[in-house]
Amino acid sequence: MELKYTRKNVYKEADGKQLKAIYKYAEGYKKFLDESKTERGAAHAAERLAIEHGYKPFSFAEKLKAGDKRYFINRQKNVFLIKVGSENVEEHGVRIMVAHVDSPRLDIKPNPVYEESGLCYLKTHYYGGVKKYQWTALPLALHGVVMLPDGKSVEVCVGEDDNDPIFYITDILPHLGREQAAKPLGTAIPGESLNAVIGALPAVDDEEEKETVKAAILKLLNKKYGLTEIDFQCSELCLVPAGKARDVGFDGALIASYGHDDKVCAYPEMTALFESENSPHTIISVFSDKEEVGSDGTTGAQSRIICDVIDTIANSFGANPIIVRYNSKCISADVTAGFDPEFASVFEKRNTTYINCGAAISKYTGSGGKGGSNDANAEYVGWLRDIFDKNGVYWQMGELGAIDAGGGGTVAKFIANLGIDTIDVGVPVLSMHAPYELISKADVYSLYQACLAFCK
C-alpha cells in the first residue's frame, strides 16, 4: 500500500502501445477542433458523427426504450446525445456529461460596417473573458449565419481555407507606442478599438463620393451572399483566430489551438459515449452553449431544456422524474488552469493541476472563498475515485489557481442545482482563453479514459 501520494506523469507511465493510442486519439481530436470553431460548427460535427454512429433524431413526444440512441440539436448550438440503457432509470438515474462548445471570440455588432480613411471595417463586441491585447495583429476568420428576408439563411465561413482572405485588427507600432506601453494591459486596447479591416478597394465607378470602399464591400457581399446591410441585424457572426490546430514541440506531445476550452472536453465525452454502446446505463452527452457568458438563454446550461430531456426519458418508463434526477450523476467536463512555471505566482503549486498528469478533477471552483461554486460531496468524489482507479484512469486534483489570484466557474453548479451529484473533471490548459491555447495529448486522452470509466 502506497502511504504517500505522488502525482503521475502519464507520458512517463505509458508504454509504447499506450503512447501510440494517445497520439492517434489526438488526430481525431484535432480534426474535430478544426470543424468546431464555433458552437454551430461543433453542433454540426456532433450531428454528423451521431448519425454515423446510428443515432436518430430525438422528440420530446417520443416514448424511448432500452437500446435507443437519439440526438437533439437545440437551435443549432446546443447538443444532446442520448443512449438509453437497460437498467431501471428510477433506481439508477442517468449518467450525464456536460461540456461547452462556445469559446471566447469577437462577435460582430448589429450595425458593424463602416469606412474610415479609405479602409472598411467591421465593429466587434468581444464575447467572454478575453485579454483584448491578444486579439490584434493576428489572422482572423469570419464564421456564422445571416438571416435574409423571408426566412432564408446563409452560412458564412471565410478565412479557414488557404485560398481565403483573412481579417485583421491593427495595433500601434512600437515606435509610437510609448503611451500605450505605459498603460495597464487591461486598458491598453479598449473594446471599441477591436475593429477588423475587411476591405480597401474603392468602387471607382460609384457616383457617391463618400464611403466608396464600404459601397464596394456591400456590393461584394450582396453578390456572394445576397445580403444587404440591414441583414447584419439578423445575424450571428463572429471573428475567431484563423487556422488549424497544430502539434507543439519537437516531440509533438502538446497541441496548440483556438477553442480547447472547451472542445477538449466535448470531444472525449462524445467519443466515450459512442464507445459505450453496451453499457447498461442511460447516458446523456451534452454540448452546452453560452458558458463563457454565464450559461443563460435557451441554449445555455441554465435552460430548462436539460431537465426536459431527463424528464422525457423518465416519462418514457413511467418513472418519477424527481427520483430519476436525484439518482443521476454528472461530470461537468470543463478545462482548468494547468500550472504554468512562467507564471508560478498565481498558482498554489501543491494544489494545482499539471500538464501531462491526466484528467483534472476540481472538487470546487469559484472565487473569493469558493463563492459561486458547486463543491462536490466527498461521497461523490470517493465514488468517482474508485471508478477511475479500477479502470486505470490517470487523474489528478487541483484548484483553479491561488486563493486570492481570481477564480472562475463552470456549468457544474447549474446541473447540481437540479439535485444531481456533479463534479468538474476536465483537462489542464495553459494560456486559457488566449487565441491559441495549449494542452497535452496525454491529458485529453486521459479525460477520454475517465469518461469511458464513467459510462461503463
Pick from 261, 289, 399, 443 the residue near Mn ion by CB under 5 A. 261
Selected from 47, 68, 334, 421, the binder of Mn ion by CB under 5 A is 334
Furthest C-alpha separation in the chain: 85
Q: Does 424 bind Mn ion (CB under 5 A)?
A: no
The single-letter code of the amino acid at 439 is I
Chain-centroid distance, C-alpha 203: 40
Nearer to Mn ion, 107 or 211 (CB): 107
Candidate residues 102, 262, 269, 443; the one interacting with Mn ion per rule CB under 5 A: 262
Grid cell 492517434 in the structure block, residue: 24
Percent helix, percent strand, percent coil in the chain, to nearest 5: 35, 25, 40
Question: What is the torsion angle, in degrees rounded to the nearest 10, for the CA atoms of residue 414, residue 273, residue 310 and residue 380?
Answer: -50
| 106-145 binders of Mn ion (CB under 5 A) | none
Q: How big is the CA angle at 397 (ends 395 and 403), to the nearest 5 degrees? A: 160
Stretch that binds Mn ion, among 146-154, 187-195, 208-216, 329-337 (CB under 5 A): 329-337
Shortest CB 29 distance to Mn ion, Å:
16
- Is the CB of 358 or the CB of 408 nearer to Mn ion? 408
Q: Which residue is nearest to Mn ion (CB)?
A: 262
- Residue 437 found at the interface with Mn ion (CB under 5 A): no
Residue type, 315: N
373 and 336 in contact (C-beta within 8 Å)?
A: no
Contact flag: residue 231 with Mn ion (CB under 5 A)? no
The rounded distance, in Å, linking the Cα atoms of 35 and 245 is 10
For the CB of residue 408, give the shortest distance to Mn ion in the complex, in Å: 7
Which is nearer to Mn ion, 231 or 437 (by Cβ)?
A: 437
Does residue 68 belong to the site contacting Mn ion (CB under 5 A)?
no
Strands 254-257 and 437-440, sheet pairing: antiparallel
- Nearest distance from C-beta of residue 28 to Mn ion, angstroms: 21
Nearest distance from C-beta of residue 320 to Mn ion, angstroms: 33
CA–CA distance, 300 with 286 (Å, rounded to integer): 11
**In terms of CB distance, is 101 or 218 closer to Mn ion?**
101
Cα 144 to Cα 240: distance, rounded to the nearest angstrom: 11
Stretch that binds Mn ion, among 30-38, 116-124, 259-267, 445-453 (CB under 5 A): 259-267
Closest CB to Mn ion among residues 235, 396: 396
Scanning residues 183 to 212, which ones bind Mn ion (CB under 5 A)? none
H/E stretch holding 125 reads strand 119-127
Residues in contact with Mn ion, counted by CB under 5 A, come to a total of 3
Least distance CB 268 / Mn ion (angstroms): 14
CA atoms within 13 A on the CB side of 438: 13
Question: Which residues in this chain contact Mn ion in the complex, by CB under 5 A?
Answer: 261-262, 334
